[in-house]
Amino acid sequence: MTLWKLSLATFGCALVIGAGTGCSAHGSQSGFEDGDGGVGSNGDSGGVFGGGGGNPGSAPTLLYAHTDTTLYTLDPTKLGAPLTTVGTFDCVGAGSGSSSMTDLAVTKDGHLFGVSHGAAYPLTVQNGVVHCEATWTLPNTKFFGLTIAPENTVAANEVLIGADGAGGLYQIDPNSGTPTQVGTLGTDPRSGKPWALSGDIVFMANGGNPIGFATVRTCTSGTNCTTTDTLIEVDVHAIRPGTQSVLKTVRGQVVRGSWCTNASSPSTFGSMFGIVAYEDKVYGFSRQGDIIEIHNTDGTGCLVQAAPSLKFAGAGISTTARVTAPPPK
């Protein structure tokens, strides 16, 4: 397998992407081995943050966003800049079993994993193509979200977690793709209805104090759902086999904040199919092509960039990206 090195002159760095699929047992849970990082041309362990431990200070942080068929990168400190195209997914779209990649997850070492409605995929980038190294069929439910549970949460090593539209969370076995339910997103305290996944979920290591966020909505039927997303905080330590709620707190509806100075910003935001967390913000990527800055304290947001030609389907960032937890609520 040939690993691909992407030179990003825009951000003044080089990104090496690997696709480790090794795993280890930890009780009944499976995770990714620390040592299965991709190896760059110089022999170092590859990843968004460079070699070895995935140290956020070793290279600029990049986030990923994607449409149904194409992967992009973006510097979270320059969200108004054009996105950089990485490549197209070779296992979705015309002639494949899935019409779209619905989300992306990134390990601490920069390894990429994708998910469609019915399968998960370890990914590598080769000559401008995002290659699916394997296809892990996911039975019984459609997956719309994907993230990585940090080390020493679900297992000693990082674990791949998928989310379905009904708000169920599932651990995905890295050998076979077999999903095991490990929680739900809980219930809206105002309406009493269960939270459904509107768009995405993201977990961050936060130096050993993991935090998580999700954009959610409530539905009275499969097609009759609220149009404004709500940002919730997830209790990552509550994730374990079962159907228990992992809701920590409701941060707030994603509406235009009083702090927003962009006159063209919409008053409400929905269908944020991709989210990432960075510092004290959550960044949403909507199906309308909007990139939204969201305060993780109260869910208020502001339009950063509108790219209507890009109908975002998902987003991801390394679990070790710098993040600031919101205050207790």
3-state secondary structure of 271: coil
- Angle, vertex CA 318, rays to CA 14 and CA 198, nearest 5: 125
For 4-316, the fitting CATH number among 3.30.390, 2.120.10, 1.10.287, 2.40.10 is: 2.120.10
pLDDT surpassing 90 at residue 82:
yes
CA distance 81 to 95: 33
CA distance 326 to 62: 22
pTM for the full predicted model: 0.82
Mean per-residue pLDDT for 71-89? 94
Confidence grade of residue 22 (pLDDT, cut at 50, 70, 90): very low
The pLDDT of residue 58 is 47
pLDDT surpassing 60 at residue 151:
yes
Among the residue ranges 28-37, 245-254, 274-283, the one predicted with the least confidence is 28-37
The pLDDT of residue 118 is 85
3-state secondary structure of 277: strand
Closest among 182, 175, 58 to 109, alpha carbons compared = 58
Buried b (16+ CB within 10 A) or exposed e, 11-46: bebebbbbbbbebbeeeebbbbebebbbebeeeebb
Confidence grade of residue 45 (pLDDT, cut at 50, 70, 90): very low
CA distance 328 to 167: 23
Mean per-residue pLDDT for 69-81? 93
Domains of the chain, by residue range, sit at 4-316
Confidence grade of residue 260 (pLDDT, cut at 50, 70, 90): very high
Average model confidence (pLDDT) for the chain?
82
Residue 39 backbone class (left: φ over 0; alpha: ψ -120 to 50; beta: rest): beta
Closest among 281, 276, 269, 259 to 326, alpha carbons compared = 281
Provide the pairing of β-strand 112-115 with 143-149.
Answer: unpaired
> pLDDT digit string (tens) for 6-20?
322 222 222 222 233
Mean per-residue pLDDT for 54-83? 82
Torsion, Cα 118 204 307 268, to 10 degrees, reads 100
Of 37 and 195, the structure prediction assigns the larger pLDDT to 195
Mean per-residue pLDDT for 72-87? 94
